[in-house]
Amino acid sequence: MLNLKNNFIMPPIKLGYSDGSGKVNERHITFYRCRCRYLGAVIPEPFYIDKGLREIPTQMGIDSDDKVEGLHALVSSIHESGSRVIAHLNHPGRMANPAIEGNYFISSTDRPCENGGATPKSMDARDMAQVIDLFRNAAIRAEKVGFDAIELQFGHGYLLSQFLSPLVNDRTDEYGGDFENMTRFPLEVLDSIRKSSDLPVIARISGDEMIPGGITTPEMSVFSSLLEKHGVCAIHVSAGTVCSTPPWYFQHMFIPKGKTWEMATTIKKALHIPVIFVGQINTFEDIERLHAEFPTDYIAVGRALVADPDFIGKYLGEVPGAVLPCLACAEGCLGGVKSGKGLSCLVNPRAGKETELVEPAKTPGRYAVVGGGLAGMEAAITLKQKGHEVDLYEKEELGGQFNLAPLTPNKKSLHRLVPYFVQKLKDEGITVLFKDAAPPDLMKYDAVILATGSKPVAPEIPGLDTYFWADILREENLPENKNVLIIGGGLIGVDIATGLIPRNNRITIVKRTTDFGEDMEMIAKKLSLKMMKEKGTVFSDHTHIRKIDGKTVYAERDGENIQFEDIDIIVVSTGMKSFNPLEEKLKDTMPVHVIGDARKIGNAQDAIRDAYETVINL
């Protein structure tokens, strides 16, 4: 298609690193420079084609000539590695961000997305001509800048798929009704781009929108062959829509790996042009399987490169070392973009901060790290990389609390993180001492890092004598067919519920406030709560437990007395408290740094980032 040096491509992922001007900056350039070396091609973050069509305020643009210089620098920097660069052009239609001042909203319909967003204007002929102009100008600019190809977005619930999708397109003119009519406008856009630029055009599609009434794979096979007839050089098969099925769009860990690969296989049968496979391709085994069992032409690897910029280099044997695994959790990447801070990564504290270097220590010292949870392991590794000598103390199990996180059925992908750290400790030659570190053990060091984590707190409730915490998820504790009352409805309470439901346990979950799973990543929260509701979980918010007497739990809800009867098991997940008994004892004798949950209760990303930042700033 494009004469790439290999068949690995980085797909478009919004970064949110611009300053609001839409221009490229050093952060963008460094992010891609660190990742492109072993790739055939990079598709940078989608560019907005009009300022009023941004998905996030900090998106990069290709809407005007003031962007050309920055885009040219970006393209040149990627070209230096021998990789090609593909400009992804998209019009969000009704999915432009309503929170951005100046944005406007047009679509094939005048109905908003059922999950929120602005009410769009149903497009008339003038609007269509304007959209075609915007795409055409962006394509001409992409060619001028030096991009090697264009990727045009026909999927993911954005404007062109708002025409293609029977669920969205409710028009009665020649752009709606039957399949031919619904494909008319998207093909007009394609034809106009092909006429105005010589760059090859790749089409990105959703192989299935994964919603009843939406676009299906057979329809997309037919549409893809039309795209081929209209001159596209490859089809990039993703799934889902930003409006209705974000877990599919973002390939969240809660959805099964491999469905998009099956869609791509089916669609390829209708074509004579290459197909790009994408979706949770984040282990070497995935790549091997794709090569062995699927008719892959090109493989797109997104978040695995966010997590480990050398993922493909390591696969190709060009870079040594263990792969820092992407967990498909979406916590740091999607979470970071949504928060407005820009893309980050749960496992990789350097993601988006590649301009900061880990400088060697000016005066290398001898450090003890106490606690081998995520924070302690990250601190030990970064200390070693800075040239210090390090011993790591762990009294129970490396990985700490995070060993419990993959025990719920939908979070199995999280199990890859702790083994990575264990391997890395070994590779770095860090001594791990399995013991409960006390002050006498630590006197021989120049400084100590305390990463002793946190402990669950239980409220004082009369009769609360026997109860579990998240340790109920361990195989040896997992109950079956019981009535379980979970006190506390944050991340851990919700996770425990989703872990117990498959064993036929009946769950009641209570919370003092409202908003169950408030501290959860957005997609995990939505899907967990949906599953719990479908399985008959009783949710009781604004509920204060007053007393427990045998199998009866007495509570108060909005001033009313209520009871939960026939409860077999109580689980308490009412929060965590920092566990840091050593700081007081050591702080007058040596430098002491406290990190992770021991310093401030947070999540896995907070623990890793806190460790990394503390050490690089020592």
Ligand X SMILES: Cc1cc2nc3c(=O)[nH]c(=O)nc-3n(C[C@H](O)[C@H](O)[C@H](O)COP(=O)(O)O)c2cc1C
Ligand Y SMILES: Cc1cc2nc3c(=O)[nH]c(=O)nc-3n(C[C@H](O)[C@H](O)[C@H](O)COP(=O)(O)OP(=O)(O)OC[C@H]3O[C@@H](n4cnc5c(N)ncnc54)[C@H](O)[C@@H]3O)c2cc1C
| 572 lies in the site for ligand Y, by CB under 6 A | no
Among residues 48, 250, 402, 468, the one that binds ligand X under rule CB under 6 A: 250
Among residues 9, 53, 142, 326, the one that binds ligand SF4 under rule CB under 6 A: 326
Among residues 210, 300, 451, 487, the one that binds ligand Y under rule CB under 6 A: 451
Quick note: the x/- pattern for ligand X over 467-506, rule CB under 6 A, is ----------------------------------------
What is the closest distance, in whole angstroms, from the C-beta atom of residue 143 to ligand X in the complex?
A: 21
**Residue 194 CB: number of other CB atoms within 10 A?**
18
Nearer to ligand X, 312 or 485 (CB): 312
Q: What is the distance between the alpha carbons of residues 478 and 571, in angstroms, rounded to a whole number?
A: 12
Q: Burial of 99 by CB count in 10 Å (0-12 exposed, 13-18 middle, 19+ buried)?
A: exposed
What is the closest distance, in whole angstroms, from the C-beta atom of residue 353 to ligand SF4 in the complex?
A: 13
Among 23-31, 143-151, 299-307, 448-456, the segment contacting ligand SF4 (CB under 6 A):
299-307
Are the C-beta atoms of residues 592 and 580 closer than 8 Å to each other? no
Are the C-beta atoms of residues 146 and 76 closer than 8 Å to each other? yes
Among residues 24, 235, 390, 492, the one that binds ligand Y under rule CB under 6 A: 492
Strands across the sheet with 506-510, in order? Answer: 538-540, 506-510, 483-487, 569-572
Among residues 28, 141, 194, 204, the one that binds ligand X under rule CB under 6 A: 204
Nearer to ligand Y, 396 or 568 (CB): 396
How many residues bind ligand X (CB under 6 A)? The answer is: 24
What is the closest distance, in whole angstroms, from the C-beta atom of residue 598 to ligand Y in the complex?
A: 6
How many residues bind ligand SF4 (CB under 6 A)? The answer is: 14
| 14 lies in the site for ligand X, by CB under 6 A | yes
Q: What is the distance between the alpha carbons of residues 190 and 46, in angstroms, rounded to a whole number?
A: 17
**Residue 546 CB: number of other CB atoms within 10 A?**
15
Count CA within 13 A, CB hemisphere, residue 373. 29
Among residues 187, 312, 323, 328, the one that binds ligand SF4 under rule CB under 6 A: 328
Nearer to ligand SF4, 84 or 416 (CB): 416
| 331 lies in the site for ligand Y, by CB under 6 A | yes
Buried b (16+ CB within 10 A) or exposed e, 447-484: bbbbbbbbebebeebeebeebbbbebbeeeeebeeebb
Name the residue whose CB lies closest to ligand X: 302
Among residues 202, 299, 333, 611, the one that binds ligand SF4 under rule CB under 6 A: 333
Q: In 3-state terms, what secondary structure has residue 576?
A: strand
| 333 lies in the site for ligand X, by CB under 6 A | yes
**Residue 9 CB: number of other CB atoms within 10 A?**
28
Nearest CA-CA partner of 154 in 118, 176, 182 = 182
**Which whole-number Å values give the CA distances from 376 to 175, 348, 518, in the listed order?**
59, 15, 26
| 518 lies in the site for ligand Y, by CB under 6 A | no
Q: What is the distance between the alpha carbons of residues 557 and 547, in angstroms, rounded to a whole number?
A: 13
Nearer to ligand SF4, 326 or 510 (CB): 326
What is the closest distance, in whole angstroms, from the C-beta atom of residue 329 to ligand Y in the complex?
A: 6
| 337 lies in the site for ligand X, by CB under 6 A | yes
376 binds, among ligand SF4, ligand X, ligand Y, none (CB under 5 to 8 A by kind): ligand Y
DSSP assignment, residue 92?
-
**Which whole-number Å values give the CA distances from 280 to 157, 309, 327, 331, in the listed order?**
20, 15, 9, 15
The angle that helices 522-534 and 491-500 make with each other, rounded to 10 degrees, is 40
| 332 lies in the site for ligand SF4, by CB under 6 A | yes
- Residues 73, 74, 75: CA angle, nearest 5 degrees: 95
| 281 lies in the site for ligand X, by CB under 6 A | yes
| 327 lies in the site for ligand SF4, by CB under 6 A | yes
| 401 lies in the site for ligand Y, by CB under 6 A | yes
402 binds, among ligand Y, ligand X, ligand SF4, none (CB under 5 to 8 A by kind): ligand Y
What is the closest distance, in whole angstroms, from the C-beta atom of residue 62 to ligand SF4 in the complex?
A: 25
| 346 lies in the site for ligand SF4, by CB under 6 A | yes
Say if strands 552-557 and 560-564 run parallel, antiparallel, or are unpaired.
Answer: antiparallel
Q: What is the distance between the alpha carbons of residues 529 and 537, in angstroms, rounded to a whole number?
A: 9
Are the C-beta atoms of residues 505 and 608 closer than 8 Å to each other? no
Count CA within 13 A, CB hemisphere, residue 41. 24
451 binds, among ligand Y, ligand X, ligand SF4, none (CB under 5 to 8 A by kind): ligand Y
Are the C-beta atoms of residues 169 and 182 closer than 8 Å to each other? yes
**Residues 408-427 close enough to bind ligand Y by CB under 6 A:** 411
| 495 lies in the site for ligand Y, by CB under 6 A | yes
Mark out the alpha helices in 58-209 (DSSP H runs): 68-79, 125-145, 159-164, 179-196
Q: Burial of 237 by CB count in 10 Å (0-12 exposed, 13-18 middle, 19+ buried)?
A: buried
Among 90-98, 300-308, 447-455, 522-530, the segment contacting ligand SF4 (CB under 6 A):
300-308
| 594 lies in the site for ligand SF4, by CB under 6 A | no
Quick note: the x/- pattern for ligand X over 149-188, rule CB under 6 A, is ----x--x--------------------------------
Are the C-beta atoms of residues 405 and 521 closer than 8 Å to each other? no
Among 162-170, 273-281, 320-328, 596-604, the segment contacting ligand SF4 (CB under 6 A):
320-328
| 371 lies in the site for ligand Y, by CB under 6 A | yes
- Residues 507, 509, 515: CA angle, nearest 5 degrees: 135
Among 249-257, 285-293, 359-367, 390-398, the segment contacting ligand Y (CB under 6 A):
390-398
**Which whole-number Å values give the CA distances from 73 to 20, 70, 147, 283, in the listed order?**
18, 5, 11, 32
What is the closest distance, in whole angstroms, from the C-beta atom of residue 608 to ligand Y in the complex?
A: 8
| 244 lies in the site for ligand Y, by CB under 6 A | no
Nearest CA-CA partner of 443 in 376, 370, 382 = 370
What is the closest distance, in whole angstroms, from the C-beta atom of residue 572 to ligand SF4 in the complex?
A: 28
Q: What is the distance between the alpha carbons of residues 430 and 391, in angstroms, rounded to a whole number?
A: 6
| 9 lies in the site for ligand X, by CB under 6 A | no
Quick note: the x/- pattern for ligand X over 206-245, rule CB under 6 A, is --------------------------------x-------
Query: What residues line the site for ligand X (CB under 6 A)?
Result: 11-14, 46, 153, 156, 204, 238, 250-251, 278-281, 301-304, 330, 333-334, 337, 343
Query: What residues line the site for ligand Y (CB under 6 A)?
Result: 331, 346, 370-376, 393-396, 400-402, 404-405, 411, 436-437, 451-454, 470, 491-492, 495, 596-598, 602-605, 607
Query: What residues line the site for ligand SF4 (CB under 6 A)?
Result: 303, 306-307, 326-333, 345-347
